[in-house]
Amino acid sequence: MSSLTAENDTLQGTATGPLSGYVVLDLTRALAGPHAGMMMGDLGAKVIKIETVGTGDDTRGWGPPFVGPEDNRQATYFLSCNRNKLSLSLNLKDEEHKEKLAELVKNSDVLMENFRTGVLDRLGFSTQVLHELNPRLVILSITGFGHDGPEAHRSGYDQILQGEAGLMSITGSGPDDPQKVGVPIADLLSGMYGAYGALAALLEREKTGRGQVVRTSLLASIIGVHAFQGTRAMVAGQNPQAIGNHHPSIAPYGLYGCKDSKVQISIGSEKLWQNFASSFNLPADDPRFISNALRVQNRPALNELIERAFSGYDAEELLAALDGAGIPSGKVRTIEEVYEWDQVKSQGLIVEVDHEVLGKINLPGPPLRFFDAQTNNETTRTVHSAPPVLNANAQEIEQWLASRKDNA
């Protein structure tokens, strides 16, 4: 690691986690890059978020909903992807501010950016310049359609890429009802892939002593999770289409009605099918249903029999019966219900932070947990900092840079 250690850390607190002591310079905005930066912060890295002077990250204005006092409203969108960061405002067209950025580059381990291709070069911070300033720097660059190729110039926004990369064509009630996913999944996936790539480059740096450039895109991130739908198209020659809330290759697997609502079941093996059929008086040996392939082929008839069997149960009674039979099943919860669920709370998936404007608030928590293999004690970061107000950490970052020069 190149910069912050427990001995010389003069920035906010001393975070625990596998990336404790590393510094990430986050030049990104909106969601893909900020999500990657937040992942690094959750792992203990010091993440310095560079924001536009006066306005900050675009998502500070994305709402409603906004919360807080009327004269200082905070966008909940921004709160979703910027915990465990420090904020510094810079004008990257100003020479003095460029010098400050150069000093930050020299003292960072990772730089993240999601400018359109060529923008950082025009600002005077090409890959060559960045590596002249810091040969050990890992650079993560995220674009919409990729860094080269005939459409590299296009601006990439999540829903556009959900459509362009095929995801909307397999999401919805049917082929004529393309739907986007309920969260900006292209942004989130590219942030995850980006953080994963940056970590791999840091590991490689331990062997080579040199940083490298990691590139991903919203387009690549969606194609990266096509999974069996991709091989259906490329290997089997099928063109996947949306079929609603049922699995295209497994049956029964999906959402089914009962007396008062709907439940989900997943029958992923022949043993489960036999258990399920016997528990709910379904004809397991019917020639239409004796293999998964035949059940998929005859899904409409099978679904009709299942919903008839379920029609006498209310949802809670049905879920209890399914669980008793060893059948994977579940309800469809609202987002509000998810955060009231004891299982979610038990997994550390809600964190409390103290926000400068809003006071104590709860945020969705990080999805990873860490344990010491020898003691089995949990080493996950448990103390988190709130998403910062704009330019909140300018003074302490200045002091840290000054201390770095003094110790050089």
Question: Dihedral (C-alpha) 78, 83, 84, 88: value to the nearest 10 degrees?
Answer: 10
Would you call 182 exposed, middle or buried from its count of C-beta atoms within 10 A (0-12, 13-18, 19+)?
A: exposed
Q: For the chain, how big is the Rg over CA atoms in Å?
A: 25
Distance CA 140, CA 147 (A): 12
8-state DSSP, 139:
E
Which position among 9, 187, 314, 372 bears the catalytic label?
Answer: 187
Residue whose C-alpha is closest to residue 140's, from 193, 87, 177: 193
Active site residue 42: no
- For residues 171 and 154, the answer to whether their CB atoms sit within 8 Å is no
Helices H, strands E: what count in the chain? Answer: 16, 13
Neighbours of 297 (CB within 10 A): 14
Length of the chain in terms of residues written: 408
Would you call 54 exposed, middle or buried from its count of C-beta atoms within 10 A (0-12, 13-18, 19+)?
A: exposed
8-state DSSP, 60:
G
At what angle are helices 95-106 and 394-407 packed, to 10 degrees? 60
- For residues 320 and 312, the answer to whether their CB atoms sit within 8 Å is no
* Position 304, amino acid: E
**Ordered alpha helix ranges (H), 177-330:** 185-208, 218-223, 227-234, 270-279, 292-297, 299-310, 315-324
Would you call 334 exposed, middle or buried from its count of C-beta atoms within 10 A (0-12, 13-18, 19+)?
A: exposed
- For residues 159 and 178, the answer to whether their CB atoms sit within 8 Å is no
Strand partners, 46: 23
Strand partners, 47: 24
Residue whose C-alpha is closest to residue 277's, from 289, 294, 263, 259: 289
The set of catalytic residues is: 187
